[in-house]
Amino acid sequence: MAIRPLIAGNWKMNGLGADGLALAQVIAERLRGGGAGLAELLLCPPATLVRAVAETVSGSDVLVGGQDCHAKSSGAHTGDVSAEMLADAGARYVIVGHSERRADHGEKDATVRAKAEAAHRAGLIAIICIGETEAERDRGATLDVVGRQLAGSLPDQAKAANTVVAYEPVWAIGTGRTPTTAEVAEVHKFLRERLTARYEDGGRFRLLYGGSVKPENARELLAVADVNGALVGGASLKADSFWAIATACA
Ligand code: PEP
């Protein structure tokens, strides 16, 4: 059976109430009207909007996720949000290990793995991000880097039903630059092989591509073998561009 694609919008630190809810409302209405083909649509607003976005899209098939969670369920961690809190607010997914978290907050693979385990404990699907920097690609270390990140960031108990891997080359995020389709294919084939070697259901994990996905390049990126959807940053902040990407895999 084919893997159902996932198109996930990562709003990052963008979205005040009125605009965020209006965006969510338009996406939910378009999905209710049909047309996104077989793709599952996910919105990951900032934590302040998770509950309100979940309420706004309820009754549609649009899903909601967080952008990060703490590894613990509760406690003295000022400013953090737990996976349970996200689930309680209506989230079904949570992104962990985004390169901006790894860079801005020094998150290492072990931390990312602990967060993914927390997501699983709370019943959330973890979207685990990995990807090489430009310097790593330039010195031919891409597969070494993503292989190490994959090994270290995924829990041993991960399953296709609770874990999505997003390959996001750091140099492609927010830059307008993307790898060639051949480069994406090489990395995704490698990741698929690693997943299949490690997990019984490794052939069924969804593998997203992320990094400057736009309406203009979505169709060719989503057609690459073993690309099972996209993690979209900038282009997810406008209903028209997110919808164009969502319908590009139909
Ligand atoms: C991201 O941050 O996950 C991302 C892919 O961003 P952008 O689409 O803006 O490159």
Q: CA torsion 198→202→205→210, rounded to 10°?
A: 60
Are the beta carbons of 96 and 116 closer than 8 angstroms?
yes
How many structural domains comprise the chain?
Answer: 1
127-137 mean pLDDT: 98
pTM of the entire structure?
0.98
Q: Indicate if the pLDDT at residue 250 is higher than 80.
A: no
168 lines ligand 1 (CB under 6 A): yes
pLDDT at 77: 98
pLDDT grade, residue 112 (50/70/90)?
very high
Q: Is the Cβ atom of 174 under 6 angstroms away from ligand 1?
A: yes
**Among candidate residues 39, 35, 88, 45, the one with its CA nearest the CA of residue 68:** 45
Quote the CA–CA distance of 39 and 36 in Å, as a whole number. Answer: 6
Helix H or strand E segment including 151: helix 142-153
- The backbone torsions φ and ψ at residue 112, rounded to the nearest 5 degrees and listed phi first, read -60, -40
- Asked if the structure places residue 221 within a domain, the reply is yes
191-200 long-range contacts (CB < 8 A, ≥24 apart) are 191/146, 191/150, 191/165, 191/167, 191/226, 192/226, 194/147, 194/150, 194/151, 195/150, 195/165, 198/151, 198/154, 199/158, 199/159, 199/160
Establish if 1 belongs to a structural domain: no
For 22-76, the pLDDT digits (tens) are: 999 999 999 988 766 779 999 999 999 999 999 999 999 999 999 999 999 999 9
Residue 5 covered by a domain: no
On whether residue 198 sits in a domain, the answer given is yes
Return the pLDDT at 234: 97
Q: Looking at the domain assignment, is residue 174 inside a domain?
A: yes
Instruction: Give the Å distance between the CA of 83 and the centre of ligand 1.
Output: 22
What's the pLDDT at 33?
84
Q: Is the pLDDT of residue 182 over 80?
A: yes
Whether 213 lines ligand 1, by a CB cut-off of 6 Å, is yes
Q: Find the CATH number of the domain harbouring 27.
A: 3.20.20.70
Mean pLDDT is lowest, of 25-39, 116-130, 139-153, 189-203, for 25-39
The Cα–Cα gap between 242 and 14 comes to: 15
With the most atoms of ligand 1 within 8 angstroms of its CB, the residue from 104, 212, 221, 227 to mutate is: 212
Domain holding 194, by residue range, is 11-247
